[in-house]
Structure 1
Amino acid sequence: MSDHTADDSRRRFIKLTAIGLAAAPFANVLSSGAARAAELEMLDESDPMAVALKYKADATESERQDDTHLCSNCNLYTSTDEEAGPCTLFPGKLVAADGWCVAWVKKA
């Protein structure tokens, strides 16, 4: 093996190792998202953050201005589940897909 080939191999090894180490913290995020969501509890409307954001699990009981605004079509809702999913505003909790809060943002 020539010095040039050894240097290329070493560089490739170092690059792949660095990429692997950088990606390792995200492995859990990328794998089993549905399984992790199943382990989360539903957000209680009496939760202080939910109260502050006027969250309602049933959007028909909310103060929303537009009947089409739901958690399921909000940019902060990070699930495709039809029942419930995680919201970036309520870490570790699930919100109802048919819910709503004042932080609603149109999904891009």
Structure 2
Amino acid sequence: MTSRRQFILTSLPSAAVLLSGASIATAQAARLEESDPIAVALGYKHDAGKVDTKKYAAFAAGHNCANCQLFQGKPADAWGVCGAVGGKQVNAKGWCSAWNKKA
């Protein structure tokens, strides 16, 4: 029969490995591709300079993912998670029709 102390000491390393693996998996969110159905629906482009301004009249120069309220990356990040696209990463220089000025 094993003691409670032995059980805890043998389970801690396994639990630590599992938890660290889970945090790595969540930290590496997938990047949104322009061909993704969500990206197509929102008119997402990796480069805001390539937005079809006739189709998306709301677009204005200077609007990009980095200055959008939905962008969850840091200002200096090249890519960051976006709440509008299911938690995938978007290019900070990109744009989509869900753009909303960061407060």
Query: TM-score, structure 2 length as denominator?
Result: 0.65
Cα deviation for residue 93 of structure 1 reads 1.1
Partner deviation per Cα, 1:22-65 (whole Å, 9 max, x = no partner): xxxxxxxxxx7x9844x112101011110000000011101353
Cα deviation for residue 79 of structure 1 reads 1.0
The separation in 1 between residues aligned to 2:68 and 2:25, in whole angstroms, is: 22
Partner of 1:50: 39
Q: Select which of 76, 94, 100 maps to 1:99.
A: 94
SS of alignment partner, residue 99 of structure 1: coil
User: How many residues matched?
Assistant: 75
Identity of aligned residues (%): 47
Q: CA RMSD in A?
A: 2.1
Gaps of 5+ in 1: 1-31
SS of alignment partner, residue 89 of structure 1: helix
Runs of 4+ that moved beyond 3 A: 34-37
Partner deviation per Cα, 1:64-104 (whole Å, 9 max, x = no partner): 53111000000011111420000001124100000000111
SS of alignment partner, residue 72 of structure 2: coil
Q: Select which of 71, 84, 90 maps to 2:79.
A: 84
Query: TM-score, structure 1 length as denominator?
Result: 0.62
The separation in 2 between residues aligned to 1:67 and 1:35, in whole angstroms, is: 35
Q: Over alpha carbons, which structure has the higher Rg?
A: 1
Give, as a single letter, the amino acid of the residue that structure 1 aligns with 2:95: W
The separation in 2 between residues aligned to 1:35 and 1:49, in whole angstroms, is: 22
CA separation of 1:101 and 1:86: change in aligned 2, threshold 3 A: same
